[in-house]
């Protein structure tokens, strides 16, 4: 079993990667008084149909403002290895996200996505763990940049998993994860690997 698959399955069985709850998405929108959703995703042609069809099913009543960048949310991380191969896209991506929130005043939730297998992440030897760390870091940075905008923007983190042999349940699916839970899981997982 590859290290990537091992980590994915461990995080999934621990309930860290979990299915996105459409009711919860609708409830958050109602609480913050907005209806639109912004999505930063990798536009990879091999996986975009699967990702978008899943999300449109999950968000049937909302408009989805899509920003498709190569690599998805990880390119908004200035320190990500994928931004150290020449041009650093982080500021561009961050400005695009902020612009979307400014011009689309009803966006109540912003989702940052990364996925496996991703050519941009792979080119820079970024593992799933590196990708999720990058998304957490981008979320934290964006919260500072967004400040006290009204309506409040909730930032959610997504991970799309695609397995070619599709023999594992849920092999093609968009998952949600919580930054705090993932950080805790990552530190435990690292200890587990050191112990092995």
Give me the residues that bind Zn ion (CB under 5 A), please: 42, 44, 118
Nearest distance in Å: CB 120, Zn ion: 5
Supply angle C-alpha 100, 103, 105, rounded to 5.
95
Closest CA to 69 of 100, 24, 131, 112: 112
Chain-centroid distance, C-alpha 7: 16
Shortest CB 70 distance to Zn ion, Å: 6
Nearer to Zn ion, 7 or 162 (CB): 162
* Shortest reach from residue 68's CB to Zn ion, in Å: 10
Which of 119/192 has CB closer to Zn ion? 119
SS3 label, residue 149? coil
Separation of alpha carbons 171 and 4, rounded Å: 13
Sequence-distant (6+) residues with CB within 8 A of 111 are 37, 38, 39, 40, 41, 155, 156, 157, 158
CB of 46 to Zn ion, least distance (A): 9
Between 39 and 118, CB nearer to Zn ion:
118
Residue (4 or 181) nearer to Zn ion, CB: 4
For Zn ion, which is the closer residue by CB, 42 or 90?
A: 42
Task: Tell the smallest beta-carbon distance from residue 153 to Zn ion (Å).
Answer: 24
């Amino acid at each position: 079993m590859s290290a990537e698959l091992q980590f994915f399955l461990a995080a999934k069985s621990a309930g860290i990667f979990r299915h996105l709850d459409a009711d919860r998405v609708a409830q958050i929108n109602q609480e913050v008084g907005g209806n639109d959703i912004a999505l930063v995703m990798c536009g990879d042609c091999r996986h975009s149909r699967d990702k978008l069809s899943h999300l449109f099913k999950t968000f049937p009543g909302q408009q989805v403002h899509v920003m498709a960048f190569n690599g998805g949310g990880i390119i908004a991380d200035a320190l990500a290895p994928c931004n150290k191969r020449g041009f650093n896209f982080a500021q561009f991506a961050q400005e695009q996200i902020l612009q979307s929130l400014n011009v689309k005043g009803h966006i109540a939730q912003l989702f940052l996505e990364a996925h496996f297998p991703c050519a941009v992440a792979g080119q820079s030897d970024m593992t799933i763990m590196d990708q999720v760390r990058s998304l957490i870091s981008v979320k934290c940075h964006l919260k500072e940049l967004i400040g006290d905008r009204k309506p409040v923007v909730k930032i959610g983190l997504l991970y799309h998993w695609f397995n070619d042999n599709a023999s594992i349940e849920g092999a093609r699916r968009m998952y949600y994860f919580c930054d705090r839970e993932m950080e805790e899981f990552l530190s435990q997982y690292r200890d587990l690997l050191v112990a092995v």
